[in-house]
Structures are given as structure tokens and as C-alpha cells.
Amino acid sequence: MPDRPAKSGGRSGRRPRLSFDDWTAAGLHLLVSEGRGAVKISRLCEELGVTKGSFYWHFSDVDDLMKAIATRYTSQDNDAARGLTSLEELPVDERLARMGAMLVDERAREAEVAVREWARSDPQVAESVRALDRRIMSVVENCFLELGFDKREAELRAGTLVYAGIGFLYGRDSLPAPTIDRIEELLKILVRR
């Protein structure tokens, strides 16, 4: 789950100046913890201890904030938080293992499910999620290419792993929960020649 911005300090009468990032972090936190319907200007202002003027300094309305949240969550800048950027420096077997471990992280799962659910009703968010999926698919496919699989095999194996990851996100309530052991077994199957 994304970090929650700190509330304003004491009652000195002077409120902190919130940044664009503070607002998007707070909005993303509410989206993940309570769903799209909880992201309201008054609620955010109360949570952050500021007036609506602070909100309107950065955003024209709640839809403008929601676009910023989607951009923040699915942007390449957030790849560092997901661990995608540092992965490419690791040996391929370790890279795949780390990506597998990300699939069992509950905080990441909650954020991912919330954004993907939102994407079902918002075309702009859906396009951002598609772009993120393409980046993830590319990272995974490159792993299989480095392991010596041809382009078609690498694409099929990467697709299997990415689709399994999305299934792990949504199937936890009705299917056996993904574990590191299960993911390691899946990886062993996928890297086998």
C-alpha cells in the first residue's frame, strides 16, 4: 500500500504547505484502503488537516486529482517503488525470483487490485494500466530472452508468468493463495527447456 502522507502538525495556526505529491499520495491511500468512492475533497482535507483552498491550488476538481493518482501509480517514476528499475541490474534468475516475490506482497496486491478495478470504469486509467502491463511484460520477456529462449518462446513464457500474476491478484479470495514456494515452482517450470 502506498505511504500515507503525514497529517498537519499541532495547532499553531499555521498549516503545512502540501505538495502535489502529498495530495496524490493521500488520494492513492484512500483509493487503496477504501475504494474510489472514498476519494472526496472534503475527506482528504479533513485527513490532511487543511482547507479546500489547498486542494484547489493543485487541482481543478476531484477528477483532476484522480487523473494525477492514476498517472502517479502507473508512471515509470513509480517503477522504482515497484522494483522494476533495479531489477534489470540483477542476474536473470534473481530478477525472476524478485518479481515472483512481488506477487505475494499484500500491500502491493491491494494497490494493484484497487487501480485495476478503477481502470474498468475509467478509460484513461485503463490505458495507464495497459502501459504498465506492457512495461512489466517487456521486463519479463527480456528475462527469458537472456536465458536463451527465442523471441516466440520468451513471449509465451513471459505471458504465462504475467497472466499468472494477474490471476494471483484476483484469485486470492477463491483459490489457494500464491506462496513463494508455488511461485518458485512455476518459475522452475517456465525456465525449463
Instruction: Give tens-digit pLDDT for 91-136.
Output: 998 888 888 887 777 777 777 888 888 888 888 888 888 888 888 8
The overall average pLDDT reported for the chain is 83
What Å distances lie between residue 137 and 19, 84, 160, 175, CA to CA? Answer: 33, 11, 10, 24
**Quick check: 74 pLDDT over 90?**
no
Q: How many CB atoms lie within 10 A of CB 20?
A: 13
**Quick check: 11 pLDDT over 50?**
no
Least confident of 41-45, 109-113, 185-189: 109-113
pLDDT at 173: 77
Q: What percent of the chain has pLDDT over 70?
A: 86
- On the CB side of 47, CA atoms within 13 Å amount to 20
Work out the angle at residue 81's Cα, subtended by the Cα atoms of residues 59 and 137, and round it to the nearest 5 degrees.
105
Higher-scoring residue by pLDDT: 79, 97: 97
